[in-house]
């Protein structure tokens, strides 16, 4: 299943990350049960870039042996840790639910009572599919920001949608062309439609995931321009992650943008939030892409290195210097 289809399918499931209450009453749909299971009897314990990870297998794992799961978790954790400068939370639990077939997902991440994720994985999934899949990184990205009120789901989901491919590209797990293909082909789905009332009040799939991702792309550009390239969105997000401790915390968007803006000495996050939260604003996405030097020609993503924001485009998918809590070596898993 490709990325856009899976995002559409899980749109109703990831809401659970906002609340300690499960959506369905099935075994291990309750985050408290998952937390207890992983705390008391994990099948695998890992330490990655400042984070302790517990992995459990729910039921008959079949071909999903510990070695394969460990390699996938380490690869995904390396990408997220490279982006945020360390693993986003001190403790994280992953419960893998084996299912028939070769699909990956759906997945749900909670922050209460601790940072835990439940992820379905097909027993017949190939190593190549695990290596190329983005779902684990998407869920790990949710760990980095605090939980927000339900009306601000777009802030969280848009962030994971925007950051996930960038984090993988920074470690060379995917190409920059793949990152920007998603922007060119999928981000237009986030534009407001008739009767739109702004991101805080319009909870469609397109606005939640891709409208949210568009907010973060615009923030990326605004921070770069305001600081003349000194700071980046990555600096703001690392600051939010450090101050909150990740998704066990519960914040307002106002708190998050205040911390992020202070880190980059700007009002970019707050200003954009004020512009987009309560009213429909159509974004000149084609113009943004031209400024970045990105186009699609004959099915291929092309870059113009003479575009005004070409330097920003290159920097977004380049590996940043790790912070004082991590070393570059912890990001290398292969």
pLDDT of residue 327: 55
Question: What contacts 198, CB < 8 A, 6 or more positions away?
Answer: 276, 277, 278, 279, 280, 281
pLDDT of residue 313: 98
Mean pLDDT (whole number) for 68-77: 94
- If you average pLDDT over every residue of the chain, what do you get? 89
Is-contact 59 65, C-beta < 8 A?
Answer: no
Can you list the pairs that 59-64 forms with residues at least 24 positions away whose Cβ atoms lie under 8 Å? 59/97, 59/98, 60/98, 60/123, 61/96, 61/98, 61/123, 62/98, 62/123, 62/124, 63/123, 63/124, 63/125, 64/96, 64/98, 64/121, 64/123, 64/125
Mean pLDDT (whole number) for 169-188: 97
User: Residue 59: left if φ>0, alpha if ψ -120 to 50, beta else—which one?
Assistant: left
Mean pLDDT (whole number) for 4-28: 40
Extents of the domains making up the chain: 3-142, 150-331
Whether 233 has a pLDDT exceeding 80, the answer reads: yes
CA distance 244 to 260: 11
SS3 of residue 144 by DSSP: coil
Using pLDDT thresholds of 50, 70 and 90, give the confidence band for residue 269. Answer: very high
Q: Is the model more confident about 136 or about 26? A: 136
| pLDDT tens-digit series, residues 288-334 | 999 999 999 999 999 999 999 999 999 999 998 766 555 566 666 55
Whether 19 has a pLDDT exceeding 50, the answer reads: no
pLDDT of residue 25: 32
DSSP string, 14-40: GGGGG-SS-SS-STT-SHHHHHHHHHH
| pLDDT tens-digit series, residues 32-68 | 888 888 888 888 999 999 999 999 988 777 778 888 8
Using pLDDT thresholds of 50, 70 and 90, give the confidence band for residue 21. Answer: very low
Is-contact 78 48, C-beta < 8 A?
Answer: yes
pLDDT of residue 8: 44
pLDDT of residue 63: 74
pLDDT of residue 13: 38
What sign results for the dihedral spanned by CA atoms 73, 142, 229, 86? negative
CA distance 24 to 160: 23
CA distance 171 to 239: 21
Whether 14 has a pLDDT exceeding 70, the answer reads: no
Is-contact 186 134, C-beta < 8 A?
Answer: no
Using pLDDT thresholds of 50, 70 and 90, give the confidence band for residue 119. Answer: very high
pLDDT of residue 36: 87
pLDDT of residue 39: 84
Percent of the chain's residues with pLDDT above 70:
88
Percent of the chain's residues with pLDDT above 90:
76
Alpha-carbon distances, residue 84 vs 36, 38, 248 (angstroms)? 27, 24, 17
CA distance 116 to 17: 9
pLDDT of residue 208: 98
Whether 210 has a pLDDT exceeding 50, the answer reads: yes
Using pLDDT thresholds of 50, 70 and 90, give the confidence band for residue 15. Answer: very low
User: Residue 326: left if φ>0, alpha if ψ -120 to 50, beta else—which one?
Assistant: beta
Using pLDDT thresholds of 50, 70 and 90, give the confidence band for residue 31. Answer: confident
Can you list the pairs that 119-125 forms with residues at least 24 positions away whose Cβ atoms lie under 8 Å? 119/94, 119/95, 120/96, 121/64, 121/96, 121/97, 122/98, 123/60, 123/61, 123/62, 123/63, 123/64, 123/98, 123/99, 124/62, 124/63, 124/100, 125/63, 125/64
pLDDT of residue 324: 55
Mean pLDDT (whole number) for 160-186: 97
């Amino acid at each position: 299943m490709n990325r856009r289809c899976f995002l559409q399918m899980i749109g109703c499931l990831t809401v659970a990350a906002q609340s300690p209450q499960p959506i369905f009453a099935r075994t291990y749909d309750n985050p408290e049960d998952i937390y207890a299971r992983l705390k008391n009897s994990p099948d695998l314990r890992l330490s990655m870039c400042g984070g302790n990870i517990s992995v459990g297998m729910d039921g008959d794992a079949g071909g999903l042996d510990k070695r394969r799961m460990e390699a996938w978790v380490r690869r995904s954790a390396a990408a997220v840790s490279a982006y945020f400068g360390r693993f986003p939370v001190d403790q994280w639990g992953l419960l893998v639910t084996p299912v028939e077939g070769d699909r990956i997902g759906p997945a749900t991440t909670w922050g209460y009572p601790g940072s835990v994720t439940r992820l379905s994985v097909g027993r017949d999934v190939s190593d190549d599919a695990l290596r190329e899949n983005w779902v684990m990184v998407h869920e790990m990205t949710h760990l980095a920001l605090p939980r927000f009120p339900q009306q601000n789901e777009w802030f969280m989901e848009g962030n994971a949608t925007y950051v996930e491919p960038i984090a993988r590209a920074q470690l060379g797990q995917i190409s920059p062309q793949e990152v920007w293909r998603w922007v060119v082909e999928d981000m237009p789905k986030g534009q407001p439609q008739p009767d739109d009332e702004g991101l805080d009040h319009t909870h469609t799939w397109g606005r939640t995931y891709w409208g949210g991702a568009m907010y973060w792309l615009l923030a990326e550009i605004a921070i770069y321009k305001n600081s003349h390239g000194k700071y980046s969105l990555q600096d703001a997000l690392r600051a939010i992650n450090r101050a909150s401790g990740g998704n066990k915390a519960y914040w307002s968007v106002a708190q998050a943008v205040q911390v992020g803006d202070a880190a980059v000495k700007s009002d970019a996050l707050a200003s954009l939030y004020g512009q987009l939260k309560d009213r429909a604003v159509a974004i000149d996405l084609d113009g943004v892409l031209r400024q970045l030097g990105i186009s699609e020609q004959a099915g291929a993503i092309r870059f113009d290195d003479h575009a005004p924001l070409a330097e920003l485009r290159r920097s977004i998918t380049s590996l940043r210097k790790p912070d004082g809590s991590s070393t570059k070596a912890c990001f290398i898993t292969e």
